A and B are shown apart, each in its own frame.
Chain A
Amino acid sequence: MIVPLFVAIPLGLSFLIPLFSKVSRRSGDLLTNLGTAALLVLSLYSIRLLSGGPLVYHMGGWKPPFGIVLVLDSLSLLVLVCVSVVSFACSLYSISYMDQFTSKWKFYTLFMLMITGLNGVTVTGDVFNMYVFFEIAAIASYALVAFGTEHEELEAAFKYMVVGSVASMAILLSIALLYGGLGTLNLADLSRKIAGAGDPRLLAFAGALFLTGFAVKAALVPFHSWLPDAHPSAPAPISAMLSGVFIKVLGVYAISRIFFNVFGVKPVYLNLLLFFGFASLVIAAFLALKQSDMKRLLAYSTISQIGYIALGLGTGTPLGIMGALFHILSHSTGKALLFLTSGSLVYSAQTRNLQEMGGLEERMPVTATSFTVGALSIAGVPPFHGFFSKLFIIIGLWQAQRYALAVVGILISVLTLAYMLKAEKHAFFGRIREELRGVKESPATMLVALVFLAALCIGIGLFFPWIVKVLIEPARDVLLKGIAYADTVFQS
C-alpha cells in the first residue's frame, strides 16, 4: 500500500540523517533530496491510482471505527502534491543556501519532521491522529523559525510558539469534547454520529474551538499577529515551506476537511469564513503596501492571499470552492518562489531591506526574472496561474450573490500588483548602488530550484484546463459531497 509511505519516508529519513551525518557532511543533502524527490514521484503517481476511488489503509489491520485509518482521497492528494512540489524545490535550494548556517543536518532532520507532520495531517482519517501530526509539524516549525538563534529569530519563535500552542490546546479541547459527547475519534464515524444525534450546543462549542484553532494556524485576520514575525525570521527555504504549504495544510485543509466533510456545511460556518477572508484580504494587503522589509512584505501578502482562499471556500458554490483549491496550488508555488528569490537576495546582497537594494537585475538576472514571474502570478496577471484561480474565486463570489465581496476581490488584486511592483522596483530596477556592484548571482542549485518553480507558475497557467480536470475538480467533488465522505471511507 502506498498511503503509509507518505508518512514513513520522511519520518524514517529524519532518523537516518543524524546517523549518516557522522559518516559524511554531504549525506544530509543527498538523503533529503532523494526523500523529497521520492515523495514527489509518489504523489504524482497516486493521481493515476485514485481514479478508482479513494485509497483507505487500516493501520494494524483494525477496521474503522476502531482503528486508525489513513485516507488518500482527491482533496488529500491535491494538498500532498503541493507539499511535495514545494518541499522538493526547498530541499534543492537548501544545498547551497544552508551552508551559511552551522549544523546543517539538524536543519534537515527538522525539515523532514515537518514534512512528516504535513503529510500525516493530509492523509489521516482520525481526529486525534490529526492532532498528533499537527503538533509534529508545529514543533518542527517552531524550532526551524528559531534556527538562526539571533535576536529576531528567537523573539519571533517564542511569539509563534505561544500563539500556536494555545491554538493547539483549543483543538485538543474540542477533540475531548467531541469524544466525550459522541464516543468516537474516527472522522468518518464522527461525521455519521454528528449527522445522527449530535447535541447542537456541543457541536457549536466544539466547532467554535476548531475554527479558532485552525484560523490561528491559517493566520486569518484577526488571528494573524504571529505570521509577519515568524515567516520572515526563518531561513528562506523554511519561509517558503511555511508560507507556501504549512498554513494551507494546518489551516485551510483542516478547516475544509472538518467543516465540509465532518460537521457538514452550515451557513454560519460559511459566513464566518467569508468574514475572516474579507478581513484578511483587505487589512493584510494595506499592511503589505507599507513594508520596507522584503520578506515581511511577502508575509503580509500571504495573509492577504489566504483571505482569497477563505472567501472561495465561504461561497459554498462549486466554482468558488474550485477557485479556492486552485488558489492553494497556485499560491503555494508562487509564494514559495518569491520567498526563495528573497533568500537569494539575502544570500548574495546580504540584505532584506528594500531601501538598501536597487538595480540588482543586471547582477542577478535569473533571480530577477523568477521574482517577476512569481510576483505577476500572485498578483493575478494572465497567463500566470494566479489569474485563473482568482478569476474562479471572483466569479464564484458573484454567483453566490456576494457582489460587494467580488468587487473587493478585484480591487485588492490591483493592490497586490501595486505592492509586488513596489518590491520589484526597489530591488531590481533603477541604477545599481556602488556597494552592490560586486554582487554575484546565487549558486546553481538555488537557481535550478527557482527556475523549477517559475516554470511551474507558467506551465500551470498555460495548461490550466488540464490541471483543473486532473487535480482540482476531483478535490472539489470531495468537498461538495460533504458528509457523504463517511460512506466512501467505510465502503472501501
Chain B
Amino acid sequence: MPELRRDPVIGRWVIISKERGKRPSDFVIVQERVRGGYCPLCPGNEHSTPPEVLAYGRKEGAPPNSPGWSLRVVPNKYPALTPNGNLDRRKEGIYDKLNGVGAHEVIIETPKHEETLATMPVEQIELIFRSYRDRMKALSEDDRFQFIIIFKNFGRAAGASLEHSHSQLIALPIVPLTIKQELSGSMRYFELNERCIFCDIIRQERSQNIRIVCENDEFITLSPFAPRSPFEMWCLPKYHSSSYPEISDTQIKSLATLFSETMRRLDKALPKVPYNIMLHTSPIREQNLEYYHWHLEILPKLTMIAGFEWGTGFYINPTPPEESARFLREIDIHKQGTPDSLLSRKEKLIS
C-alpha cells in the first residue's frame, strides 16, 4: 500500500508508492547530445559576458575579464530582474505590485568546459561555496534586497541550457513564499519545543540511521523523510546556523568535501542525471535565527510534475527515501566502471 508522508517543516504531503520501489536502474535517463561549439563561459571568451563582479585565481596584476581565472561571477546578460531603480511598491485595488528590481548573477564554476560537480576536485567546489558567501555578503549591503536565492540547474531537463558548469544567484526585493513557509513552520516548531526543527531532524536521523547518505564532522547529507523526488537529498550543517553567509573558510572546506562526495555518489547511481540544487538560507534582514537552519536541497529530475502535483501540492515519489539513501550510501565511489546493481540500467541514447 502506498504511504502518505508529511514533511515536518512545511507540512507538504507526498505519496510514497512503496510497492514500486524504483531502483536507480529502473529510471530512464535520456543522455543529452552535447551541442558543442563556441561557449560564452569558457576562458578566452570573457568578452561574451558582462564585466565580472568577482573572480578568483588570476595571477596578481592580471587584468579583470581576461583568462587565467579559476571561477568568475558575472551579471546575467539578460537578467530576470534589473539592478537599477527603486521598488515603488504600490496597490492596484486588491493587487500588490512593485518594480522588478533585483540582482541576477551567474557563477561560472570552473574554467573547464566539461567539468561537473561530480568530477571537479574538492578545491574547486570550495571556491564555488566561497563565491556564494562572498556575493551574498556583498549584495546584502543593498537595502532594497530581502532575500538571496542561489540555485543550480544541471541538464536540459532541469533547465540548464549550457553544459558549462554554472549556478545562478538572484537577489530579491521580497522573501519568497517557499522560504516564508519554511520559516513559519520552523518557528511554530520552536515555539512548541524550544529547539530548531532541523537540528532535531539531524538528531533523529543520526539515531535512526536509515536515511543518511554520508556525513563528516560538520555536515550531513540525508534523504528527507518526505522527499518530493526519488533520490532527493538535503545537505545540512550539523552545527546550528540559520545564515549561510556566516560560514567560515574551515567550514567551507568541510562542506565542499562532503558535497563532493554527495555529488559523486549521485552520479555513480544515476550517471548524468539532471538535477536542481537550491540553497535555502535566512532572509537578509533576519540573521541568527534560533529556529531556522540553512541547507542545500538537491532534487534529481526523475519524475514529471503534472496536474495532480500542480493541483494539490502533493508529490508522488516511487522510491522510498530509506531505499534511495541505502543505494547512495552503499555505492563504492572509488570503484571504476558501472556498479553491478546498475548493469541493467536502460539508456536511451540520442545521437
Partners in one complex: no
